A and B are shown apart, each in its own frame.
Chain A
Amino acid sequence: MRAAITPCRILLLAIAFLSARISVAAQSSSPQSAELLLQKAAKEISAGQLGPAEKDLQSVLQAEPGEYRALDLLGVVRVLQHQETQAEDLFAQAVRSKADFAPAHSHLGLLYLKLARTEDAIRELREALRLDPHRTDAAGALIHTLQEQAQTASESGDWDEALRALKDARNYAPDDPDIQYEFGMVALQLSLNEDAAEAFRRTLKVRTRDALAVYNLGRAFMEQSKFEDARIKFADYVKMRPNDPSGYCALGMTLAALERSKEARDEFERSIAIAPAQTEAYYRLGLLDLESGDYDAARQNLDHALDREPKNAAALTALGRIEFEQKHYPEAVATLQNAVAGDASQREAHYYLGLTLARLGRKQESTAQLDIATRLEHEQAEHRRTILRIVEPGAQGK
C-alpha cells in the first residue's frame, strides 16, 4: 500500500490548487473586488494567515452572502482551525448555493475523511470527480481511501470486498502501478488468475523492473497452467534477484511442471545452496524423486524438510505417499494421519489416507477419508464454477 496521506495535507494542496484557479479567473476576467479578495484569501490560507483570510472572506460574504467560493474557502479556514462542525456547515452551504461546484464536494469529502465518515467522504469525492474528473485532490483521496478499504478487507479475509474496492480504485487510476499490483495480489488470492496476470502486466508496463510484479505474474501463469510462460517470468526474476532462494524454487517448480526434472532439480539445489535452512526446495526435490520412483532419495529429501519443519503437512503427505507406494500401509496411515492433523485441508493427504485404508480393508474409514477428499475437490470445482461466472459475465442464460 502507498504512504499515508492525511486529509489536512490534501486539503492544503487543494487550497493551493483553488488559489491558482481563482488567480487564473481573476486575470482572465475584468478585475472585481470580490475576485481579488477571494484570490487574496486563498493565498493567505496557503500561507497559514487564517485571520486575514477570514476577514477578506467575510467581506465578500457580506456583499454576497451566497458566494459559494467564499463559503467554501471559509470552510477550509474552519477545518484548519479544527472547527469541523462549522466547516461542514459552510461546505454544505456552498454546495447548496452551487450544486455543481466540484471544490466544495471535494473539500466536504476530505473533511468527512478527517472525521472518519468514510462512506460520506467517498460519496462526496465521487461527486467531485464526476463534476471535474481532473481534480487530483479528490482523486488522490478517493483512491487512497479505496486502497485502505481493500487493505482492511484483505486483513479480515474478505477478499471479494478487497477486490471490489481495488476495482473501483482502478477505474479512477487505470495506470497506477500500485493499484494494479494490489489488484493482482487480491485476484491471485481469489484464483482470478487471468485478471491477476493482466494486472501484473499493467504494473510492469509502468515499472518494467518491478521484480515482485514479475514474480507474481509467474505465479498467475502457474495457476493457469501456463508453465512455459511462468518459467520465463521466474527466470527473469532470478536474474533480477539472484540472491533470493524463492526465485530458484519457483523456477524449479515450473520446470518440474514442464516435466524437465533435471533442470528443476538444479534450480532446487541452487535454492538450497543460498538458503540451506529452508524446507520448500527439499520438499520439491523429494516430490521429484517420488514421481520418478526413487523412494530412498525422496525420503532423504523429505526428511531434510521435516527436520526443519516437523509438522509440514505437504512433506508429511509426500512421505505418506512413499510409504503407500512401497506398500508399507500401516506406516502410510500413521504419516498421512499426521499430515491431516497438521492441515485438514490437505486433499491429497485425505486421498492417500483413504486409498491406504482401503488397502488395509478398513472400508468405512477409507470411505470417510475419500469423502473428505471428494468434498474438498467439489469445493474447488464449485470455486472454479464461481470463477467462470465472475470472469465471464453473463455466462448463465445469456
Chain B
Amino acid sequence: MTKRGSLLGRKKALAIRAAFIVVARAITWGMALHGQTVPGHFSDATRKLGVQFRQQASPTAKKYLLETMGSGVALFDYDNDGRLDIFLANGAPIDDPTPKGTIPKKTERKYWNRLYHQKPDGTFEDVTEKSGLAGVGYSTGVAVGDYDNDGFDDLYVAGYGRGTLYHNNGNGTFSDVTDAAGVAGSGWMTSAAWVDYDNDGRLDLIVARYMQWDFDDIFCGDPQKKGFRSYCHPDLFKPESVLLFHNDGGGKFSEVSHRAGIDKPGKGLGVAIADYDRDGWMDILIANDAMQQYLFHNRGDGTFEEVGLTSGAGLDGGGNTFSGMGVDFADYNNDGWPDIIITDLANQRFALFTNQKDGTFDYSSSTKGLSGISLLHSGWGVHFLDYDNDGWKDLLIVQSHVMDTIEISAPNLHYREPPSLLRNDQGKRFENVSDSSGDVFHQAWAARALAIGDIDNEGRQDAVVSSNDGPAWVLLNKTETSNHWVTLKLVGVKSNRDAIGAQVRLLTSAGEQYSTVTTTGSYQSSSDKRLHFGLGNADSIREIEIHWPSGIRQVLTNQRVDAILTITESSESSSKVSH
C-alpha cells in the first residue's frame, strides 16, 4: 500500500514538475517574445564593401521573356577562410531580334558572372578572372554544394540552354567539369538545388526548368497602344520537366528524372528541399509559374510521388493556381515540421502553407496576415530568417513585377518595388515591419534573387540581392537587439560533407527550434549552409539534436551561445565542437 502510494506520489510529482517546465517555458517565451517589436535595420553596404555589379538582362523591343527573369546570387565560403563570399550570375547579349534557336553567349566582361572574395577586413575583391567563373551563356540560377565531399564547395550555375558545374579546386580556382559530369542539362533552367535524395552520402542535383520557350517573335500586349508590348504570359507556353542528376561518385552523374518519377512537366522557377513528413528522406518543392505547385514526396526507394494537390500545397486557399516564383521550406512556427512560403504576383497573395504534421498543409496566408501584406506586391526571392534573433523565423522578400510596363495597364502596381521584411509574431501572424527597418525598405528595385547568410559573422543574418538589368546590393543586418544567437556549421562524415539535409532541433530555456541544412530556396539563389538560430534571451543551449542524412542521431548538450559552432558528424553524442 505504502509502496503503491509512493509510486503514485512520484508520478504525480513528475507530472507537476513537467507542468511547471511547460509553464516556465511559456513564461520565458513570453518574456522573450511579448516585448516590443524590434524593427529591422538592414544597411546597404554594397559600395563600402567594394561590390560593383550590374546584371545584364539585355532588354529588347521584342520583350523576350528571358530578359525579365534575372540571374541568381550565392553566398558561400569557397576558400574555407570562415568568411562568406559572393557569387553573382549574369546574363548575356540578346540580339533584337534574336533568331529562334539561339543560345546567347557572353561576349564582353560586362556579361561575366562575378565572384567576390571577402577579405579579412570585410571588404570584397573581384576574383572572377582568377577563379575561372566568368561563365559562358545566359546564367540564371546558382546552387552551392560540395558534390565530391572534398571539403570545398562547388558551384552549379544554371542557364538558358546549358548549365555549368564548376569544381572547386581548393586553391581559389574552379574547373568546368560539366561534360565529364554529364550535368549540362537543356532548355531554360532556372533554380537548382543540391540534395542527397537517396542518403548515399553524395549530393545529387535538381534543376528546375521553366517551360518550352524559344526566341519566337510573339506579340503580347495591346497592339493598339504604344508601349503596351509586354512579356508573354506563361499560359502561352508548354511546361517542361525538372531534371534530377544522381551523383554516381567519381565526378559522374546520371540523369534519372524519369526513373525517379520527378519528370512531371511544370513551369519551375523556385526549388526548395525539406523532409516535410519527417520520414528521413528529403522531399522537393518546385514553385511553378501559373500552374499547380509541385511537392515531390521522397518514397525512400529512389523515387518520388508528386503530392502537391493531395497535400494541400498545390493551390491557394480558393483552389486557384498562382504564379509561384520564389520558395522557402522551413519551420516558421517552431513545431518541428517544415512549412512552405511561395512568392507570386500582385493580386495573388504570397502563399503560406502550414504543415499539419500528417503529410498535409493548410493554406494560411489569410490567417497569418500575409494576404493583406502581399496583395499588391510581386515577390521573387524569399527566405525565412530571424532578423532580430528572437527565436522566430521572419521573412525577407525581394519584389518587383515581372512586367516593366505594368504601371501603364495597372497604375496601382509597380515594376520596381522595395523589399519587404515581415516579423514573425510567435508563429501566430506576420507583421510588416518594412517601413521602420531602414532605407533599403523604401528603395524601389527590380529585384529578383536573394541569398542570406551572416556575412560579417556578427550573429545576424545579412542578405545579398540582385536585380534584373540592375545592380546587386549587400545588405548588412544591423538590427539593434541584445538577443542571443548561435550559428551551426555542420560537417558530414558519413553523410554528405555539407550536411545538406541534416535536421537540427535546438533546445534552450526559451523552447525548441528546428532547421534543416540546405543551401537552396529563394529564387535562383544559394544561401549560407550554416544554420543560424536566434535565441531570444536564452543565454545557453540545453541541447542540440542532429538527425544526419546517414541516419545518425547526434545530441550535444550545454553549448554556449553567441558563437559559431562547428559540429562534425559523429555517432558519439558527446562529440567535439569547435568554436
Contacts and interface: CB of A to CB of B under 8 A. Distances in A.
A367 interface: yes
Interface string A178-203: 00000000000000001000000000
A225 B319 CA distance: 17
B362 A325 contact: yes
B62 to A, nearest CB: 10
A258 B346 CA distance: 11
Contacts of B292: 374, 377
Contacts of A277: none
B375 interface: yes
Nearest to A258: B375
Contact of B217 (A225, A355, A398): A398
A393 B228 CA distance: 13
A381 interface: yes
Interface stretch (B162-170, B274-282, B309-317, B455-463): B309-317
A394 interface: yes
Contacts of A348: 318-319
A377 B222 CA distance: 25
A292 B367 contact: yes
A317 B292 CA distance: 21
Interface in B219-252: 219-223, 232-233, 235-236
Contacts of A366: 310
A227 interface: yes
B149 interface: no
Given A359-B360, A385-B235, A398-B217, A373 B375 contact: no
A397 interface: yes
B412 to A, nearest CB: 5
B1 interface: no
Contact of A397 (B216, B223, B312, B412): B216
Interface in B283-322: 290-292, 309-312, 315, 317-321
Contacts of A292: 366-367
Interface in A249-305: 258-259, 261, 291-293
A200 to B, nearest CB: 17
A390 interface: no
Contact of B319 (A226, A258, A351, A392): A351
Nearest to A261: B372
Interface residues on B, range: 35 or more
Nearest to A376: B319
Contacts of B37: none
Interface in A62-85: none
B315 to A, nearest CB: 7
B152 to A, nearest CB: 44
Nearest to A350: B319
Contact of A388 (B220, B311, B412): B220
Contacts of A395: 218-220, 232, 236
Contact of B371 (A229, A259, A388): A259
A388 B233 CA distance: 9
B410 interface: yes
B557 interface: no
Contacts of A397: 216, 218
A112 B317 CA distance: 57
Contacts of B223: 392-394
B371 A291 contact: yes
Contacts of B235: 381, 384-385, 388
A298 to B, nearest CB: 12
B366 A291 contact: yes
Nearest to B346: A225
A252 B347 CA distance: 17
The listed residue with most B CB atoms (<10 A of its CB), out of A194, A358, A393, A394, is A358
A77 to B, nearest CB: 48
A29 interface: no
B367 A293 contact: yes
A378 to B, nearest CB: 9
B209 to A, nearest CB: 19
Chain B contact residues, majority secondary structure: loop
Given A259-B372, A377-B320, A291 B367 contact: yes
Given A348-B319, A358-B310, A370-B309, A398 B360 contact: no
A398 B375 contact: no
Interface string B356-380: 0010101000110001100100000
A171 interface: no
A396 interface: yes
A367 B310 contact: yes
A109 interface: no
Contacts of B366: 291-293
B163 to A, nearest CB: 29
A392 B310 contact: no
A228 interface: yes
Contacts of B319: 347-348, 350-352, 373, 377
B312 A355 contact: yes
A398 B309 contact: no
Contact of A225 (B216, B218, B347): B347
A218 interface: no
Contacts of B371: 259, 291
A249 to B, nearest CB: 19
A49 B216 CA distance: 70
B309 A374 contact: yes
A348 B317 CA distance: 9
Contacts of A374: 292, 309
Contacts of B311: 358
A199 B450 CA distance: 43
Contacts of B309: 354, 370, 373-374
Nearest to B360: A359
B360 A377 contact: no
Interface in B365-412: 366-367, 371-372, 375, 410, 412
B412 A228 contact: yes
B258 to A, nearest CB: 22
A388 B321 contact: no
B367 A392 contact: no
The listed residue with most A CB atoms (<10 A of its CB), out of B219, B311, B319, is B319
Interface of A: 194, 225-229, 258-259, 261, 291-293, 325, 347-348, 350-352, 354-355, 358-359, 363, 366-367, 370, 373-374, 377, 381, 384-385, 388, 391-398
Q: Which 4 A-B residue pairs are closest in the complex by CB-CB distance? A: A351-B319, A259-B372, A291-B366, A225-B347
6 contacts: A292-B366, A347-B319, A351-B319, A366-B310, A373-B315, A388-B236
Given A259-B372, A355-B310, A395-B220, 12 more contacts: A261-B372, A291-B317, A291-B366, A293-B366, A348-B319, A373-B315, A377-B321, A385-B235, A385-B236, A391-B222, A397-B216, A398-B218
